[in-house]
Structure 1
Amino acid sequence: MGNKFLEGNFAPVSREHTVTELSVTGRIPDFLDGRYLRNGPNPLSEVDPAAYHWFMGDGMVHGVRLRDGKAEWYRNRWVRNPAVAATLAGQDPSRFCGMETLGANTNVIGHAGKTIALVEAGAPIYELTDELDTVGRCDFDGTLPGGYTAHPKRDPRTGELHAVSYFFGMGNKVQYSVIDAEGRVRRTVDVEVAGSPMMHDFSLTEKHVVFYDLPVTFNAGMAVATGVPSALRTPAKLVVSAMVGKVRVPDPVTAMMARKFGPNSGLPYRWDPKYPARVGVMPREGGNGDVRWFDVEPCYVFHPLNAYDDGDSIVLEVVRHPKMFDRELHGPDEGSPTLDRWTVDLPAGKVVEERLDDRGQEFPRVDERLVGRRHRYGYAVAVDGGAGPGGALLKHDFHTGSSEERAFGAGRQPGEFVFVPCHEDAAEDDGVLMGFVHDPATQRSELTLLDAGTLETVAAIHLPDRVPNGFHGNWVESA
């Protein structure tokens, strides 16, 4: 059985590289001093195409170091959880099970002097060195045990990381957390939701936290089918079905459910048409009792572009998928994702939904200096269906309602692009956009730098290998 999430540029690469002589076309701006890092799934061992889900592959971080107008190195490294470390050492990884076998494969950030590879759903996250070698599990100096999220938001004013984390073992709760600029948890809040949703991301404004409680939920039948011995599947499914969405799942059951999670286990989350679709709004310093819920049309949102307060309303700009994991169980591909605006009218108690752009797009980004604040520009990657990259980068101007499209030509496929201002007080599109572009003709990728104002190429750093289609990355400026 074929699996498109193992084919073409979804296929994993088999080598780790350290390259200190990189060919560059164009000129790397002198103001860039740091590392562009990007994370994604890259299975180390052979996987079963019939069972493999794109989200479950071992994590691999790719990085390019830029300084003084030069590209100093390119490195790619597997994130060494216990199973990956054992495999690379020629040892049997089968003694490891459960959450410690899941790859930290979704995002990579810099915070409080650390480089951190992120994943969600209760799996461990990992600290890396500046050169991308694995240091070990990260729990923010012991202040946040358990899992975290793939999508924290940094408040540009305070430098704090805000996050919403989910895990099926928490039952009908998700956890909002704030990590201070020194890397320690300042506050956590457990928020009750309608069941056990996959809450991949959230939104932050200057005054509010916004939760996306949408109908992709933990599926006990799928989890039991892959993680529990056949003789125990029926009672395990009954127990977990009764508990998920009502109370925290007991630790022994959680351990049993998680025992065989990994690249060949599939993703235990499915579209649930009976689950409500809604957004929750909580004041930043509020608690569970302060959350207000607002219904929206059934859909799924992996990624908001940004959000901001507007008088008595909250504006959410999101990439909206019509469904997720209903028919396609190997990765996102349930209809074209569109750029929509949801305006939460707090006095009226309703959400007004409107379409901004009906072209397929994903991986939306905004100038990080404007997270939670009114913005003018946003960037997204054109996609073919729900997951496959198209050949263009989209730049949206929310003041004029217009957009520009930068194509890369000849089948070349861009991944997520991030914006880096040319200096701290630069205008919103005065800087560069950077991201990996794959060329199927050469089977290699390059780190492409675009002028954010014109979308013209500033420089291209040519890499020795492919960077497979992956998820998220960031520019981590040198201290």
Structure 2
Amino acid sequence: MESEPEPAMPDVATNRYLEGAYAPVEVEVTAFDLPVTGTLPPELDGRYLRNGPNPLEAPDPANYHWFTGQGMVHGIRLRDGRAEWYRNRWVRSTAASAALGEEPVPGERFADMEAANTNVIGHAGRTLAIVEAGGRPAELTDELETVCFSDFDGTLPHGFSAHPKKDPATGELHTMGYYWGRPEVVEYTVTGIDGRIRHRVDIPVPGSPMLHDCSITESSVVVYDLPVTFDLDLAMAGRSFPYAWNDAYGARVGVLPLGGQPDQVEWFEVEPCYVFHPLNAYDDGDAVVLDVVRHPKMFATDHQGPNEGAPSLWRWTVDRAAGKVREEQLDDFALEFPRVDERVVGRRHRFGWATGLGLVDGDLGLESDDVRWDAGGLVRYDNRTGAREVVGFGAGRTAGELVFVPRTAEAAEDDGWYLTLVHDRTTDRSELVVLDAAAPSEPPVARVHLPARVPLGFHGNWIPTGQ
């Protein structure tokens, strides 16, 4: 019997993730006293930070995957109604430090994985650039200089995650991590408010799944064990990102108590699909409700980035008594990067929102098959009224992930502001746009004009002063 040939890399000279709004910027920029159109709310006192891939040296277009570029964190400091500064800084991997003529920063690199390019959070007084698949967090200063790669004071034995879930009740972070060199398990950790791992267990899985995110409720943590897995043939062929759709793997979600043990996991099958990002989860009696952005497949035919059909919002109700999951599509609008108010993570939420991928040149494009990650606006759902609100940012203007900042700690879920970076193709510059969450369709409250373009990237957060 003849063996199948190893998958070959495509013979192409271009890669969409290296061009246009995705194209990396070539220099680090520092600018002060940024111009503002409108009025910045004085309650906004902190830093808006966003992470994403930004290759420092030109990669091979045929082998470049969007998820593999060196991390670059962008930040805007707001205080007293002013935009005090903008900075962009490469996360100092060993390769980035060498290319910039600098000494490597301290800290062990687990399994030589250093591309902390996916998210940036504040926790226990630290700013952390984070990634999945075995990479350690990179600790940054308030001004975004890399301090070290962190093992959380010796308590983190392996890698971390791109998407820790912060429990509003405790302030602790819950994560599911994975690494191709430990193919039979995923790693559940709980990071305490002191920034140290206080709970860690290995959960058995059939083999090397890619777990981008997890969910929590008031009682449980949810594992998404879905059919994108490490592919040895792709790795041997030299692929920069050797994960692919696996028809034979199956699809399931696991539910275990917060801080639980592997033998407490209850598994429930779902239809094969892929979920990068759940919007939220909550308990409903004995059931667990999961609102997720569901992709029909992932990395089945395209090995440069996510491009396997339109992702849309679904609700999975895990009926623990019946041992099954009820799957319901809530909307067919193409979207990604879902969020809720961080104060209601794991609780019933009123508002959920995401970045619409069907917004082409400011047009709603509801019936369009042209699902583009570089054509985004706000799509917001009101669970109380059932209404959907779609907000475009104008012709040639692309919004990324939107973050909510409440006016006060006790404010309602729509009493505050949405912050997002918007790229303008006409000027090839970016802005930090501030929307009134009570009236997001109205003109922006403020637009902070940045001195450079921020490439389309991944995730960001608002870090209040003092946190």
- Residue 293 of structure 1 is matched in structure 2 by 267
- Residue 200 of structure 1 is matched in structure 2 by 212
Return the match for 1:318 from 292, 300, 319: 292
Between the aligned partners of 2:64 and 2:277, the Cα distance in structure 1 is 23
Say yes or no: does 1:61 pair with 2:61.
no
Using the TM superposition, give the Cα deviation of residue 392 of structure 1 relative to its aligned residue in structure 2, in angstroms: 1.7
Say yes or no: does 1:460 pair with 2:453.
no
Using the TM superposition, give the Cα deviation of residue 389 of structure 1 relative to its aligned residue in structure 2, in angstroms: 2.8
Say yes or no: does 1:476 pair with 2:452.
no
Count of aligned positions: 438
- Residue 239 of structure 1 is matched in structure 2 by none
Between the aligned partners of 1:127 and 1:334, the Cα distance in structure 2 is 34
Residues 227 and 245, structure 2, Cα contact 8 Å, conserved in 1 = yes
Render the CA deviation track for 1:140-182: whole Å, top value 9, x for unaligned.
1111132100000111111111111011111210011111111
Return the match for 2:391 from 402, 406, 409: 406
Using the TM superposition, give the Cα deviation of residue 99 of structure 1 relative to its aligned residue in structure 2, in angstroms: 4.6
- Residue 154 of structure 2 is matched in structure 1 by 142
Residues 82 and 100, structure 1, Cα contact 8 Å, conserved in 2 = no
Between the aligned partners of 2:174 and 2:207, the Cα distance in structure 1 is 22
- Residue 417 of structure 1 is matched in structure 2 by 402
Opposite residue 60 of structure 2, the aligned amino acid is: D
Between the aligned partners of 2:382 and 2:463, the Cα distance in structure 1 is 26
Say yes or no: does 1:112 pair with 2:124.
yes
- Residue 37 of structure 2 is matched in structure 1 by 25
Using the TM superposition, give the Cα deviation of residue 193 of structure 1 relative to its aligned residue in structure 2, in angstroms: 1.3
Render the CA deviation track for 1:97-116: whole Å, top value 9, x for unaligned.
99536410000000000000
Using the TM superposition, give the Cα deviation of residue 211 of structure 1 relative to its aligned residue in structure 2, in angstroms: 0.4
Render the CA deviation track for 1:396-416: whole Å, top value 9, x for unaligned.
111222110111111100000
Between the aligned partners of 1:123 and 1:370, the Cα distance in structure 2 is 28
TM-score, length-normalised on structure 2? 0.92
Residues 41 and 105, structure 1, Cα contact 8 Å, conserved in 2 = yes
Return the match for 2:317 from 331, 340, 343: 343
Q: Is the partner of 1:307 in helix, strand or coil?
A: strand
Using the TM superposition, give the Cα deviation of residue 450 of structure 1 relative to its aligned residue in structure 2, in angstroms: 0.3
- Residue 40 of structure 1 is matched in structure 2 by 52
Opposite residue 464 of structure 1, the aligned amino acid is: P
Matches within 5 A, 1:73-112: 73-89=85-101, 99-100=111-112, 102-112=114-124
Return the match for 1:268 from 242, 246, 266: 242
Opposite residue 58 of structure 2, the aligned amino acid is: E
Opposite residue 350 of structure 1, the aligned amino acid is: K
Residues 197 and 215, structure 1, Cα contact 8 Å, conserved in 2 = yes
Q: What root-mean-square deviation, in Å, do the aligned CA atoms of Structure 1 and Structure 2 show? A: 1.6
Between the aligned partners of 2:277 and 2:418, the Cα distance in structure 1 is 19
Between the aligned partners of 1:413 and 1:462, the Cα distance in structure 2 is 15
Say yes or no: does 1:433 pair with 2:406.
no
Between the aligned partners of 2:464 and 2:194, the Cα distance in structure 1 is 16
- Residue 356 of structure 2 is matched in structure 1 by 382
- Residue 9 of structure 2 is matched in structure 1 by none
TM-score, length-normalised on structure 1? 0.89
Q: Is the partner of 1:357 in helix, strand or coil?
A: coil
Identity %: 59
Q: Is the partner of 1:13 in helix, strand or coil?
A: coil
Q: 1:89 to 1:387 in 2, by over 3 A?
A: farther
- Residue 338 of structure 2 is matched in structure 1 by 364
Residues 12 and 43, structure 1, Cα contact 8 Å, conserved in 2 = yes
Using the TM superposition, give the Cα deviation of residue 445 of structure 1 relative to its aligned residue in structure 2, in angstroms: 0.3
Using the TM superposition, give the Cα deviation of residue 418 of structure 1 relative to its aligned residue in structure 2, in angstroms: 0.4
Between the aligned partners of 2:315 and 2:215, the Cα distance in structure 1 is 13
Q: Is the partner of 1:51 in helix, strand or coil?
A: coil
Between the aligned partners of 1:201 and 1:310, the Cα distance in structure 2 is 21
Q: 1:431 to 1:52 in 2, by over 3 A?
A: same
Q: 1:382 to 1:128 in 2, by over 3 A?
A: same
- Residue 184 of structure 1 is matched in structure 2 by 196
Greater helix content: 1
- Residue 17 of structure 2 is matched in structure 1 by 5
Render the CA deviation track for 1:81-103: whole Å, top value 9, x for unaligned.
111001011799xxx99953641
Q: Is the partner of 1:372 in helix, strand or coil?
A: coil
Between the aligned partners of 2:84 and 2:459, the Cα distance in structure 1 is 22
